[in-house]
Structure 1
Amino acid sequence: MSLTTILGRTVDDAQTPLLLAEILDLLLAEPSPVRFTAYDGSSTGRADAEITVSLNTPRAAAYLATAPGSLGLARAYVTGELQVTGVHPGNPYALLVAMDQLKWRRPDVRTTMRIARSLGMKRLVPPPPPPQETLPDWRRALEGLRHSKIRDAEAIHHHYDVSNTFYEMLLGPSMTYTCAVYPNEQATLEEAQYNKYDLIARKLDLKPGMRLLDVGCGWGGMVRHAAEHYGVKALGVTLSAEQAEWAQQEIKRQGLEDLAEVRFGDYRDVIEGDFDAVSSIGLTEHIGVRNYPSYFEFLREKLRPGGRLLNHSIARPDNIHRARVKGGFIDRYIFPDGELTGAGSVIVALQNAGLEMRHEENLREHYARTCAAWAENLMANWDAAVAEVGEATAKIWGMYLAGCSNGFGKRQIELHQILAVRPDERGHSQYPLRHTFGV
């Protein structure tokens, strides 16, 4: 260990407080491709790096020290205590790709103690989180059991009732907040969203006069598509009051009142039954893995014998049981109480509920492209978006969309469509010998 002479005394370097850039260097196994600067005057990383991360205040250091990983980074970034140059806040995709290249190492006990002493006790006390952050899991538990109707309603309100005007900027004319299906490399987002709804309609074999139930219907995109293009009488249900209001106005504007309806309420409160088809597009992620049996049993009971279910949901790339991730960026800022499992587990659950799986496909590359398109919309409308929801919320969405695009692209998460049918009591499915929906 080297020695340094200070004020005429010889001092062990291990007792000298570390600067923030020095702490980062101790935690990295390889040099950072991102330039890092700190309020204490220290810096590290390539001098010619395109991206610079600046830790501007002691509070920013406290956020990172007390919530390592995505949560601490998000807190510092959202509050502006940490700033990033070289990327647009509406789409910091390049930052996340660069951060993926960082190779970390676990410090030994002596190094850990030295880092703690250098930071000081004040940096090891968590500062108050930004107001955009939802309550921690234990506080949410005081409001009701996870996935109870009351708690589900609050979780949906947190994410979906941001602002319909903001979502119009983000999602575009389709107002569709689920994975699009791109028919070709040149297709626009709107073309891909139309194609997604039409693919689902074909998989469900919709025909004039049929009845469709769309659970977790969002702004009513599937409901309106089925009514307008297939002559189907469609009912959609959403827990977001703002979504329901927007959807009903759009249904009226399109003159579809005789066929289409969107209700504000819990899908579990739908009393109608004997539907020809049920679509669940982006709802399964919100209901909890333990609730899959009752969820698919409920949907099965809503179908007539021979009726079809299309389940469209995000999934893990494996079926290894994992505890729900608590306290990360996604849980505290985006999807409170959200939970994922593998597509195989979803198929097992629907089969155990008496449904027969007939077709399955993974569309994860389409979701990477969809999230990138939403991020482009956010950048294009950045000033208006900030004026509508505030810079902090807009930055949260930029980080979220960039992270999702990156995650789908490298198969951290997937998107699966599963087509199932309710056989009759003799096992007859009314399904043709070959699929008729094409691609």
Structure 2
Amino acid sequence: MSNVAVLHPNEGRHGEKGTIMRLAEIFERVVGADAPVRFRAYDGSTAGDPNSDVAIIVRTPVAVNYLAQAPGALGLTRAYVAGHIDVEGDMYTALKHMSDVAFNEGNRLSPLELARIAKSVGWVKFVNRVAPPPQEVRRTRLFGRGSRHSKGRDAEVIQHHYDVSNAFYELVLGPSMTYTCAVFDTEDSTLEDAQYRKHDLVARKLGLGEGMRLLDVGCGWGGMVVHAAREYGVRALGVTLSKEQAEWAQKNIAQCGLSDLAEVRHMDYRDVPDGIYDRISSIGLTEHIGERNLPGYFSGLYDKLKPGGRLLNHCITRPHNDVPPMTPNGVINRYVFPDGELEGPGRLQTEMNQAGFEIRHQENLREHYSLTLRGWCDNLERNWDAAVAEVGQGTARVWRLYMAGCVLGFERNVVQLHQILGVKLDGTAAHMPLRPSFA
């Protein structure tokens, strides 16, 4: 570790033996001397494994301001998004290495050690306070749009995440423009093939057939709507709260020559008329519904189905309900999915059942989402310069960090992805085959 130490201007020396800790020394005390990454700071100090393929660079004292104001993941995210911390090498590898260190019991600091570190950098709590980067959602702005999961506030939340830029999403998602978990036949399957496979799996679980009427709530850029119309001759309506998604989808439907069968509307799912659909798909919407709204959500979908109709609900879940939910002030809620809420699969099945659905099938596609996210990460890195030109360095950094972190989350069973199939019985008839026709 380097012996260079730099003082903040106009600040006296303090700490052990009257000196300020170098940042590399603090890094070593927090994560251990054998951290599997390289570390370099603006004060000239270095630490970690000099041969590691990833490096963490603290470029300016503002990074320390952020960490002092919000210790932990939020402060690190702010510093990285704002460009005061950089990661050299693969982001997923860096997060994996640092996560391994963070969960190592041997690296836990005593209260006395934490107090010494806090004292060493304490000046930044009182001078040079810095605002979060503009990519962070201000809670006060959302509160002004109504109560959590009201129509106005949901529209604001969806705009924050999905109306970033259609061109940016094309760079990240690829030609399918599908922003939900794909289904891979093998780990070597292409992302495009896996997204086709996902749409077809949903179609086969629903038992789509020519002339049926499909409603796809939270339809994104219309991938499921187009697939149902093109491959099964289904009359499909998709609804989304994102105006940019709806405009892109309608143009794509026209280009595909499917305007007589498919349509995407800029509409809240709660405003769709009841009682005219043979099948409903909900792919990636439930995460935005909220726990207290689940009964009304599933009851509303139930009412929109004809007797004998089916619902396929596809969404990110918690492994079980006693796992803490997404925190309103956490990184994901502040930067990616404001007001997002995840439930355990048992809770979702219970709510579907309470709404009247008979549960016919459920499966966990957790590993498939890791592979999907890896594909998106690869797309972003390959198109990095174009992505930055489209949305700016800060937003591109949010996506790089969030998607790489999600790969790790699905790999480590922090989050899962469940598809749950329910039937609205026709009297006592489910109109299901004796054995599933889907694999």
For 2:186 and 2:80, locate their aligned partners in 1 and report how far apart those are by CA, in whole Å: 36
- Match of 1:363? 365
Q: Which moved more, 1:315-324 or 1:209-218?
A: 315-324
Paired amino acid for 2:333: D
Check whether the contact 1:36–1:52 (CA below 8 A) recurs between aligned residues.
yes
Q: Distance in 2 between matches of 1:86 and 1:385?
A: 18
In the alignment, is residue 44 of structure 1 matched against residue 47 of structure 2?
yes
Look up the match of 2:376.
374
The aligned counterpart of 2:25 is 22
Runs of 5+ in structure 1 lacking a partner? 1-10
> Structure 2 matches for 1:88-237, cutoff 5 A?
92-102=91-101, 103=104, 105-123=107-125, 126-136=129-139, 139-237=141-239
CA offset at residue 12 of structure 1?
A: 8.8
User: Shift of residue 46 of structure 1?
Assistant: 1.7
* 1:183 positional shift: 1.9
Decide which moves more: 57-66 or 201-210.
57-66
- Once the 2 structures are TM-superposed, how far is the Cα of residue 322 of structure 1 from its aligned partner? 3.2
The SS at the match of 2:253 is helix
1-side partners of 2:108 and 2:170: how far apart?
44
1:32 pairs with 2:39: no
Superimposed CA distance per residue, residues 12-44 of structure 1 (whole angstroms, 9 cap, x where no aligned partner): 936543222222222235631112222223222
Asked if the contact 1:17/1:114 (under 8 Å) is kept, the reply is: no
One of 373, 385, 388 as aligned partner of 2:387: 385
Matching residue within 266, 275, 280 for 2:277: 275
Gaps of 5+ in 2: 1-13
In the alignment, what sits opposite 2:3?
none
Q: 1:396 to 1:323 in 2, by over 3 A?
A: closer
Greater Cα shift, 234-243 or 113-122: 113-122
Q: Give the conservation status (yes or no) of the 8 Å contact 1:210–1:276.
A: yes
Deviation for aligned residue 1:255: 1.3
| TM-score normalised by the chain length of structure 1 | 0.92
Q: 1:190 to 1:109 in 2, by over 3 A?
A: closer
The one-letter code of the counterpart of 1:363 is: L
Verify the 8 A CA contact 2:145 2:156 in the aligned structure 1: no
Does structure 1 retain, via aligned residues, the 8 Å contact 2:38–2:55? yes
Q: 1:124, 1:191 → 2: CA distance? A: 54
CA distance in 2, matches of 1:324, 1:187: 31
Deviation, structure 1 residue 57? 1.2
* Maintained 8 Å contact 2:363/2:419: yes
Say which of 250, 258, 261 aligns to 2:260.
Answer: 258
The Cα offsets for residues 193-232 of structure 1, whole Å up to 9 and x where unpaired, read as: 1111111111100111100000000000111111111111
- What is the rounded CA distance, in whole Å, between the counterparts of 2:160 and 2:51 in structure 1? 40
In structure 1, what is the Cα distance between the partners aligned to 2:396 and 2:82?
12
Q: Does 1:62 align with 2:61?
A: no
Superposition deviation, residue 106 in structure 1: 4.6
What displacement does 1:269 show? 0.5
Find the residue that maps to 2:353 and give its secondary structure.
helix
Q: Secondary structure at the match of 1:278?
A: strand
Aligned counterpart in structure 1 of residue 337 of structure 2, from 335, 338, 341: 335
Aligned pair in 2 of structure 1 residues 393, 12: CA closer, same or farther (>3 Å)? closer
Q: CA deviation at 1:139?
A: 4.9
**1:31-88 Cα deviation digits (max 9, x unpaired):** 311122222232221222222211121110111222222221111111111122233x
Asked if structure 1 preserves the Cα contact closer than 8 Å seen for 2:15 and 2:119, the reply is: no
Task: Tell me the residue number matched to 2:354.
Answer: 352
- SS of structure 1 residue aligned to 2:178: coil
* TM-score, length of structure 2 as denominator length: 0.92
- Calculate percent identity across the aligned residue pairs: 55
- Count of residue pairs brought into register by the alignment: 422
Residue type at the aligned position of 1:61: V
